[in-house]
Structures are given as C-alpha cells and as structure tokens.
Amino acid sequence: MKRYGVFTRVASAAAVVVGLATFGLTAPASASASVGPVHDLPGEYNISGAGSLACRPGQPLATATCYMVGETGTFAYNATSSTNVVVPVTDGVVGTSVELPSSDYISYISCTSGPDCIGLGSNASDDTSFYWLDNGKLVKTVTTPHKGYYWDGLSCGSASYCVASGSTGVGPKVAGAVAVMSNGAVSLHRVASVIGNGVSCYGPTSCLVVGTSHQGGGTAYGTLVEVKAGVTGAIHTITATAYLGGVTCGWEAGTCRSTALVAAGSGGYYPAVAIIKGTTATVTKLPGNASAGAAVCPEIGQCVEFGVVNPNEKGEHAFVAVATGGVAGAQLTVPGLADVDGLSCPQIGACDGVGSLLDGPHGDYSLATFTLRY
C-alpha cells in the first residue's frame, strides 16, 4: 500500500522558497467545510494510493457512485491470499464489491463524463492492461504483450484518451515509460530521461507526465514531458528539484501542482511543492518533517489538498484542505485516520475519500471512507 513517500536523511530546517514566487499562501478554511463520518471497512484492503479512487463527474455526492480499486484478503508476510475487487462508494459508504478475475489486478482508475471508467493494471503474466468498467463491472480489457513495466499513475482527458506514467527496466537500465490509450488502442513509449512518477491530463488529448531524470548515483533532476495526441514532446528539466511526484493540473488556469524533493546540503532531501506553468516551475521547499500531500481539482482553480501531517511521528493524522485560485485554506483533520490515500470529487464542494486508520487492527491494510463537503 502506498501511504506516503519515504524521505531518507531529510533535513529539518525551516521552510524557504526556491524560485520567483510564493506558493501555498494559507487562507482561512471555508466556514462550511466539514468532514463527514468515518466508516471503517471490514477486513483488509490493499490499494495503490491517490489514483485508486475515482468518481464520475457532475453528479451530486449523495447519489454519485465512486469506485475504489485494489484487493482484499489477508496480507500477512507469510500467508497472502487476496481477491481483486472494485468497491463502489456512495456518500462515504461502501457498497457490495465487484470481484474481478484472479488474473486481473487494477491499480489505478480514472472516470470522465463518458459511460465507462478506465482502469490500469496487469494480468497474471505481468502484461500491462487497460480495463473498461461499466457500473463497476469489467466489460472490456485491452492487454499489451509487454512485460516489466511499472506504473505510477493514470489520467484520462476523455473517455477515449488516457495516459499512464511509469518505468521499465531495473537498476542502471531503468528508463521512463508512457502508455497511451486512444480510442481503445494502447501504445507504449520509452522516455529515456523521464522516470514517470505521475500524470495529469489538462485537455481531452493533452497530459503532463512528471518524474525524475534517473535513479541511483549521480545528480538527479525533476523532469516533465507533455503527451499530446499520443505523441511525447520534448523533455524539460526542473533543476531546482531532484524529483517530481504526483501531479494535478487545474490548480489555476494553465497551472499544474506537483509534489517534489529538493536536495539538502546534508545529502538528503527536503519535501517540496512545484507549481508548473508551461515548461517552468516555481518550487517551494517545505520543512523537513512536512508532507506535501496530493491534490484533486474538480474544476480549474477549485481544488482540495489531502495527505498526512507528521508522517511516521507522534501526532500523525490525516488532513484535507480546500484550495481556491491556488490558495490553500487551513487544514481539516480527518478523525481517526493516519493518512488520506485517495480523494475524488464528483462536483465542486463534495468529495469522497479513503484513508488508512490510525492504529487499525490490520495495520496499513485497515482502511476507512469519509466525505468532505465545503
């Protein structure tokens, strides 16, 4: 399960700004913002993180059906037994899970205004697969006969166009990878200098992939590349960062928000946030014990940040924060949760979320759902 990134040798000095402008000016939380009841999920669940929950847009939260993808079962280190599932969530309450074939595991899901939601995962042979889900039920699968790809995100600009970011290979031979689903056909692309760590679409056939220049020894830089109409563009380096992670476009008009790492003098890294406009970014370095969190934007300039405060430390807890026009409001605590793993908003002002319980009976595999209204 992905709860949050682990930063080695993280520095602990006060936050400073790297770049030309300040990001994340804190505004008062909306007076109407509130977190609904937290509902513990029975049993154990394993999900992939921020891209594992998606809602169909344009529907009221009380009736909208969102979908969480992953697996449920027993995840003891010496005895793992699991079932691949799609779990419907409506107004913070889970419905009856749809069981998938044992050969098909969906890691990420993206829903648009089309009739289907699209999933990304792999089959029993480790081939990359795209899945079409109608009301949570698997109706179509397209599999590529290529093994050894590792994916870190999926975003769909429309019901017929999606992009996944990831990597292929191991060690010094690792390279970035992009998968494009266009009108039902899937193509894979190697992107030598972008080990993809996140993707967000900002138009029907236009998406931004972010990552890092390489892994292992040497100096690494955050990288980004646009994928338009199935074609990867020029690679751009953000030298103020060593890494760009989860990305969300629509933070403001023409602007995307990405988590990042900035090199520290001690040889470790500070967490950071990068605000990307075109091919340049303004990077804000955060305190060493901070977590940049992720974000979703149901409309341009109308976003919600989510994640964990004090990760792996005393006082660890989950938070959400409404952000308008690039200005984040005060954080709201999600009671009883250690982290928010996924959040999706079918319309402005209403979101479903899923996160990891604090001191849950199954450790990181103890999940709960909740709502946010603002």
pLDDT of residue 211: 93
Task: Identify the structural domains of the chain with CATH numbers, from first to last.
Answer: 52-297 (2.130.10.10)
Which whole number is the average pLDDT over 298-321? 91
pLDDT at 215 over 50: yes
pLDDT at 8 over 80: no
pLDDT of residue 30: 54
Tokens 């199954």 map to which residue? 362
- Tokens read off for 46: 């394993």
Q: What confidence category does residue 19 fall into, taking pLDDT thresholds of 50, 70 and 90?
A: very low
Q: What are phi and psi of 365, to 5 degrees?
A: -90, 5
CA-to-CA separations, 336 to 158, 315, 356, in angstroms, rounded: 36, 11, 9
Q: What confidence category does residue 145 fall into, taking pLDDT thresholds of 50, 70 and 90?
A: confident
pLDDT at 23 over 80: no
For the segment 225-234, what is each residue's pLDDT rounded down to a tens digit? 999 999 999 9
More confident of the two residues 158 and 291 = 158
Share of residues in the chain with pLDDT > 90 (%): 70
Rounded Cα distance between 347 and 371, Å, is: 13
Which whole number is the average pLDDT over 160-165? 96
Amino acid letter, residue 105:
Y
Burial 184-213 (b: 16+ CB within 10 A, else e): eebeeeebebbbbbbbbbbeebbbbbbbbb
pLDDT at 130 over 60: yes
Q: What confidence category does residue 133 fall into, taking pLDDT thresholds of 50, 70 and 90?
A: very high
Share of residues in the chain with pLDDT > 70 (%): 90
Which whole number is the average pLDDT over 300-326? 91
The three-state (H, E, C) secondary structure of the chain, written as one string: CCCCCCCCCCCCCCCEEECCCCCCCCECCCCCCEECCCEECCCEEECCCHHHEEECCCCCCCCCCEEEEEEEEEEECCEEEEEEEEEEEECCEECCCEECCCCEEEEEEEECCCCCEEEEEEECCCCEEEEEEECCEEEEEEECCCCCEEEEEEEEEECCEEEEEEEECCHHHCEEEEEEEECCEEEEEEECCCEEEEEEEEECCEEEEEEECCCCCCCCCEEEEEEECCEEEEEEEECCCCEEEEEEEEEECCEEEEEEEEECCCCCEEEEEEEEECCEEEEEECCCCCCCCEEEEEECCEEEEEEEECCCCCCCEEEEEEEECCEEECCEEECCEEEEEEEEEEECCEEEEEEEECCCCCHHHCEEEEEEEC
pLDDT at 29 over 60: no
pLDDT of residue 17: 28
Average pLDDT, the chain: 87
Rounded Cα distance between 43 and 81, Å, is: 12
Are the CB atoms for 261 and 269 separated by under 8 Å?
yes
For the segment 217-256, what is each residue's pLDDT rounded down to a tens digit? 668 899 999 999 999 999 999 999 999 999 999 999 999 9
Q: Which residues pair with 188 in a beta bridge?
A: 179
Amino acid letter, residue 334:
V
pTM greater than 0.75 (yes/no): yes
pLDDT of residue 64: 92
pLDDT at 135 over 60: yes
pLDDT at 16 over 50: no
- Tokens read off for 276: 């990307």
Tokens 């933070």 map to which residue? 251
Q: What confidence category does residue 216 fall into, taking pLDDT thresholds of 50, 70 and 90?
A: low
Which whole number is the average pLDDT over 140-150? 89
pLDDT of residue 10: 31
